[in-house]
Amino acid sequence: MSEYFVIGLDIGSATAKAVLLDNEGKRLAFAVRPTGGRLVQSAEDVKREVLLQTGVSDDCVKAIITTGYGRDIIQNKTKSITEITCHAKGAYVMMPEIRFVIDIGGQDSKAILLESDGQVGRFEMNDKCAAGTGRFLEVMARTLGIHLDEMGDMAVRSEKSSKISSTCTVFAESEVISLLAQGEEIPSVVSGLCRAIAERVQALVSRVGVVPPVMMTGGVAKNKGVVNWLSKTLRQELIVPEEPQIIGALGASIIGLELIKRSKGSLDKIIQNI
């Protein structure tokens, strides 16, 4: 078979991500865009963006693998795969020694134990409540009147950390308003919010049993405050990829490549030049 391409689409509640691989497993392009509640259109947008970046035409794409919150509603997909499997695959391909993945996205958080061959051993998800997710931080940023991107640096620089007792987003918002009324400084409150997320995720991780090395993925991995507090709480160094949001899409694209190779009756080693 001549040169061909594979796209992995991770359609989350907050962002859509796409990764384009060639048939050698080389990552050619990626794209990340907010969904804004328009999951199908956002998926099409990121797909089109990676094709435009590379000049690859639609008819050269041999597989589109979808994952994430909106994976089943995307038309013309080759296959949909769970986020757990795709994040495990993406993390393992990036760093085969990884044994644990913590993924915190817009709507849920996941703790995934990997076997030595990269297969999923055990996992836990928090998908019933926004606490400990990106949505929690979005709500709190609006309440504090600051930009979401400011929160990480603000938390790291703060010398104090306010105590946020509630794990419920609604109650925590009221608690934040009360703390501000009592004269708490915004950086201290932000640090406290990051610590609250870390404590929430620690409970999730403890149900699986953390095994180092640990990789953190998802949009919240860009928040230095959460990463810092989670590292302290777990007493583990956290490895954060340069683009933590695309790990699920990367895993989906690798799975697509594997499916194509298997369909040819070949188990060729996928070149991990990414």
Are residues 28 and 144 located together in one domain of the fold?
Answer: no
The neighbouring-strand residues paired with 104 are: 109
CA distance 205 to 248: 19
Q: What's the number of domains the chain is made of?
A: 2
Q: Is residue 16 part of a domain?
A: yes
- In this structure, which amino acid lies at residue 72? D
Are residues 72 and 198 located together in one domain of the fold?
Answer: no
Does the structure show a pLDDT above 80 at 2?
Answer: no
Return the sign of the alpha-carbon dihedral for residues 274, 83, 233, 116. Answer: negative
Smallest Cα–Cα separation from 208: which of 111, 126, 131?
111
pLDDT tier, 170 (very low <50, low <70, confident <90, very high otherwise): confident
Are residues 102 and 236 located together in one domain of the fold?
Answer: yes
Q: pTM of the full predicted structure?
A: 0.89
Confidence (pLDDT) at 130: 64
Are residues 133 and 199 located together in one domain of the fold?
Answer: yes
Residue 35 neighbours by CB distance under 10 Å: 22
CA distance 113 to 102: 9
pLDDT tier, 50 (very low <50, low <70, confident <90, very high otherwise): very high
Are residues 250 and 237 located together in one domain of the fold?
Answer: no
Degrees, nearest 5: CA angle 84-101-45: 55
Are residues 116 and 162 located together in one domain of the fold?
Answer: yes
Q: Is residue 225 part of a domain?
A: yes
pLDDT of 96-141, one tens digit each?
999 999 999 888 899 999 999 999 999 999 866 666 778 888 889 9
Are residues 101 and 236 located together in one domain of the fold?
Answer: yes
Half-sphere exposure of residue 225, counting CA atoms within 13 Å on the CB side? 27
Q: Is residue 87 part of a domain?
A: no
**Encoded tokens for 72:** 């089943």
Confidence (pLDDT) at 76: 87
Exposed e or buried b per residue across 245-268, where buried means at least 16 C-beta atoms within 10 angstroms of its C-beta = bbbbbbbbbbbbbbbbbeeeeeee
Confidence (pLDDT) at 262: 84
pLDDT of 192-243, one tens digit each?
999 999 998 999 999 999 999 999 999 999 999 999 999 999 999 999 999 9
> What percent of the chain stands above pLDDT 70?
93
Domain containing residue 34: 1-80+246-274
Q: Is residue 139 part of a domain?
A: yes
pLDDT of 225-236, one tens digit each?
999 999 999 999
Are residues 31 and 129 located together in one domain of the fold?
Answer: no
Residue with the larger pLDDT of the pair 176 and 264 = 176
**Would you list the DSSP string of 163-183?**
-----SHHHHHHHHHHHHHTT
**Encoded tokens for 235:** 């007493």
Confidence (pLDDT) at 127: 60
The position carrying tokens 């600051």 is 146
pLDDT of 244-255, one tens digit each?
999 999 999 999
Return the sign of the alpha-carbon dihedral for residues 168, 171, 175, 176. Answer: positive
Q: What is the CATH number of the domain that holds 19?
A: 3.30.420.40
Smallest Cα–Cα separation from 106: which of 274, 255, 257, 220?
220
Contact status, residue 187 vs residue 162, Cβ threshold 8 Å: no
Degrees, nearest 5: CA angle 92-214-35: 70
Q: Summarize the confidence of residues 177-190 as an average pLDDT.
A: 94
Q: Considering all CA atoms of the chain, what is the largest pairwise distance in Å, rounded to the nearest integer? A: 68
Does the structure show a pLDDT above 90 at 166?
Answer: no
Does the structure show a pLDDT above 60 at 269?
Answer: no
> What percent of the chain stands above pLDDT 90?
75
Q: Summarize the confidence of residues 251-271 as an average pLDDT.
A: 73
Contact status, residue 11 vs residue 71, Cβ threshold 8 Å: yes
pLDDT tier, 264 (very low <50, low <70, confident <90, very high otherwise): low
Confidence (pLDDT) at 173: 86
Residue with the larger pLDDT of the pair 41 and 130 = 41
Are residues 42 and 68 located together in one domain of the fold?
Answer: yes
Q: pLDDT averaged over the chain?
A: 90
Are residues 237 and 253 located together in one domain of the fold?
Answer: no
